[in-house]
Amino acid sequence: EKALKRKLVFSLSLLVISIALFVFSSYAWFTGKYEKWINAEVGFVDVDLLVYFENDEGELVPANEILESRVEVESGVYKPGVYEINIVSGISPNYFEDFRLKIEVSSNVGTYLRIKLYEQLTLTYINYDNSITELSVLIDGFMPFNYDLNNWHDNREIDNYLYYKSPVEREGVDDPLEIWLIESYFSEQNFANYSPGYSLQMTFQIEAVQAIEGPEKIWGMSETPWGTSW
């Protein structure tokens, strides 16, 4: 009977040791796998849209720092991400010809991007009782910004987007790639000003996808809008 008890105790001891070794081995295996996973660099897509107006000294002033470019809905409350562009007076700090639009790409993998611009022409006037009325006015076509159509494809007649033609990514860990959509106005041309009371409100939607299978799976596009493979 004592021999049987010793065998039973010995067997239980072996079982406990085996379980402990299994748990330790499994923990080490999972830990090793986890460490490999968290140490691996995962690709990401990251882009920013920057809106400016160019001043008389040729300096770029962020649009949200120009009071005239902010669209006020009530006292002290402004429409987020919406910019007012003056289309009446060339001396305004938010004048149409001075509008600039830049994208910074911080992606560490090849990235395709597209942007949709919403243009809303408005007419504002003061009523006899001093109340203000703002009317939306239909635009025939698109406002004449000087888009960089060498690097961008204008597909607005089809889906309202402009597409950057090549996949892009950042230049270094701390160096985003700068891409201009509107860098200047047409040389030796002047914008045809509207009558007093008119203004232009603009907002934007930018989309970026990984170059490998992103346009097909996210945008549902088997080929580029200009008829080639991605």
pLDDT per residue of the chain (230 residues) written in tens, 0 to 9: 545 455 554 455 555 555 554 444 444 444 444 444 444 456 899 999 999 999 999 999 999 999 999 988 777 888 899 999 999 999 999 999 999 999 999 999 999 999 999 999 999 888 888 887 889 999 989 999 999 999 999 999 999 999 999 999 999 888 999 999 999 999 999 999 999 999 999 999 999 999 999 999 999 999 999 999 99
User: Could you tell me whether strands 152-155 and 47-54 are parallel, antiparallel, or unpaired per DSSP bridges?
Assistant: unpaired
pTM: 0.79
Pairwise CA distance, residues 52 & 65, whole Å: 9
pLDDT attached to residue 133: 86
In a domain, 230, yes or no: no
Give 82-113 as a DSSP string.
EEEEBSS-TTSTTBGGGEEEEEEE--SS-EEE
**Helix and strand counts by DSSP (H, E) for the chain:** 2, 11
Residues 193 and 87 reside in one and the same domain:
yes
Residues 59 and 162 reside in one and the same domain:
yes
Residues 29 and 125 reside in one and the same domain:
no
In a domain, 209, yes or no: yes
Positive or negative, the Cα torsion across 160, 164, 170, 174? negative
pLDDT attached to residue 77: 86
Structure tokens at 226: 């200009």
In a domain, 228, yes or no: no
Which of helix, strand or coil describes residue 31? helix
Residues 112 and 208 reside in one and the same domain:
yes
Domain count for the chain, please give it: 2
Residues 109 and 6 reside in one and the same domain:
no
Q: Tell me phi and psi for residue 170, to 5 degrees.
A: -65, 160
Pairwise CA distance, residues 69 & 222, whole Å: 39
Residues 79 and 34 reside in one and the same domain:
no
Q: Which residues contact 89 (CB under 8 A, 6 or more apart)?
A: 95, 193
In a domain, 112, yes or no: yes
Residue 174, CA distances (Å) to 62, 169, 171, 204, 212 in order = 21, 12, 8, 25, 23
In a domain, 223, yes or no: no
Residues 131 and 193 reside in one and the same domain:
yes
Q: Which domain holds residue 19?
A: 1-40
Q: Mapped to the 3 state alphabet, what secondary structure does 171-188 carry?
A: CECCECEEEEEECCCCCC
Positive or negative, the Cα torsion across 67, 68, 72, 76? positive
pLDDT digit string, tens, across residues 162-209: 999 999 999 988 899 999 999 999 999 999 999 999 999 999 999 999
Residue 83 and residue 171 in contact, taking contact as beta carbons nearer than 8 Å: no
Residues 12 and 62 reside in one and the same domain:
no
Cα–Cα nearest to 161, from 223, 222, 207: 207
Cβ atoms < 10 Å from Cβ of 69: 26
In a domain, 226, yes or no: no
In a domain, 187, yes or no: yes
Query: What DSSP character marks residue 68?
Result: G
In a domain, 222, yes or no: no
